[in-house]
Amino acid sequence: MSASETQQLRELYPATLDCVHCGLCLSSCPTYRETGRETSSPRGRVYLMRGVAEGQIPLGEVVAEEAYLCLGCRACETACPSGVQYGALLEQTRAAIEDAGLRRGPAKWIERFALREIVPEQRRLSALVSLLALAQALRLDALVAPMLPARLREMHALLPRVPARSERRRLPAFTGAVGARRGRVALPEGCIMPELFGAVNAATVRVLARAGFDVLVPERQGCCGALHAHAGEIEDARSLARHNLAAFQAEDVDALVSNSAGCGAALRELGHWLPGEGEALAAKARDVCELLDAAGSLSFTRAIDGTICYDDPCHLAHGQRVTDAPRRLLAAIPSLRLVAHDDPASCCGAAGIYNLTHPEMSRAVLARKLDSLAAADPDWIASGNPGCLMQLAAGARQRSLRARVVHPIELLDRATA
């Protein structure tokens, strides 16, 4: 191993000692549930990390395969009685694997190209989405899909319908509070959200304003870097984080409010990525449902008749520990009945771009979720992360479920209009 790889692994070694190998994490781990393999469990992966750090196990293909088979859902952190920071351990291990050049092949190419050339480059991402919109409008995608190789057909099945161009406009830089002013917040637009979920962003601004908040959307912001960190591209993640730090620190706000669970978790961990720099802004990070629930200032003016299942995004439930707030808000909507399903807190299999790089495991993980949702048979399925929304919507289409997949803020917008 190189000096940098050795240093990375030595740094993670003390944190691996927090794991007491009790096994309470096993039942919460999606890959262990599917494979039954100890090495595919959080406990087993911590063993591998520790073995490499101690020089007892080589940093090789087995470690790399297990590190990337993990979805990074962090459900094990919620289950862990010892407080093991598994997400941070996983990111450091993946960084060492990347530095060692152990990942090759199509999955790595897809990941690297998407994360470096498309996702953080707003113009390129917008152009690509516009091309997809044109293909969908002309039905070229449906025409070509049957002729694609199996892997590309799977990717195509995950694609949502691209919204109208009117929904993909950038948000206004400032939206004033409606009625009594309760505070001033900044909204990270995200990279994927404006292109595929612009209506969710717009609804977020409207609901925050109705709740009494001035909403700022800094123009200089960009990709949060979460996907890069999860992929082991730590320096790329830090670079993107510093860019956003400069954009948001310039604003005098009470909170940094996110409607994307993965982005929100990344913002809360700015102090971890940028020690000595990011702590103050990280302390202001809030999920939009968390903030609205705490404010208690929403006035519901419309009823929504029907049933809804709320499905926890992993990085909201396990990364930010926000589970009750979205449920309380949805349950408060007149005539909307919140119904439970059997598997709300497990991963849906999206996990960033995991459904592209590990499609078989992603499908297996999603199947459990869909079985549970099909049994509940709601009118709506709500979740608060773009990857989850796309994954659940694709699964619902394939299963012919009648439920519509929505972000909670969309129903809050309808009920408070």
Measured CA to CA, the distance from residue 90 to residue 108 in angstroms comes to 17
Could you give the number of structural domains in the chain? 4
Answer yes or no: do 309 and 279 share one domain.
no
State which of 79, 99, 119 marks the end of a domain: 99
The 10s digit of each residue's pLDDT in 146-175 is 776 776 677 777 778 888 888 888 899 999
Low-confidence ranges of the chain (pLDDT < 70): 1-8, 148, 151-152
Non-local CB neighbours of 116 within 8 Å, separated by 6+ positions: 233, 236
State which of 51, 78, 99 marks the end of a domain: 99
Angle, nearest 10°, between helix axes 42-54 and 61-69?
A: 150
pLDDT for the residue 153: 73
Contact predicate 267/224, CB 8 Å: yes
The 10s digit of each residue's pLDDT in 242-294 is 999 999 988 899 999 999 999 999 999 999 889 999 999 999 999 999 999 99
State which of 134, 162, 190 marks the end of a domain: 162
Contact predicate 77/11, CB 8 Å: no
Contact predicate 279/316, CB 8 Å: no
Answer yes or no: do 82 and 120 share one domain.
no
pLDDT for the residue 143: 81
Retrieve residue 225's tokens: 């870097």
Answer yes or no: do 55 and 175 share one domain.
no
Q: Which of 347, 411, 408, 344 is nearest to 373 (CA)?
A: 344
Q: Which of 82, 46, 83 is nearest to 66 (CA)?
A: 46
Answer yes or no: do 71 and 26 share one domain.
yes
Q: Within 10 A of 16 (CB to CB), how many other CB atoms are there?
A: 22
pLDDT for the residue 77: 96
Domain around 41: 3-99
Answer yes or no: do 62 and 139 share one domain.
no
Answer yes or no: do 199 and 239 share one domain.
yes
Measured CA to CA, the distance from residue 266 to residue 258 in angstroms comes to 10
Question: Is this model's pTM higher than 0.95 or not?
Answer: no
| CATH number of the domain bearing residue 388 | 3.40.50
Answer yes or no: do 192 and 143 share one domain.
no
pLDDT for the residue 2: 57
Answer yes or no: do 65 and 115 share one domain.
no
Answer yes or no: do 142 and 236 share one domain.
no
pLDDT for the residue 266: 94
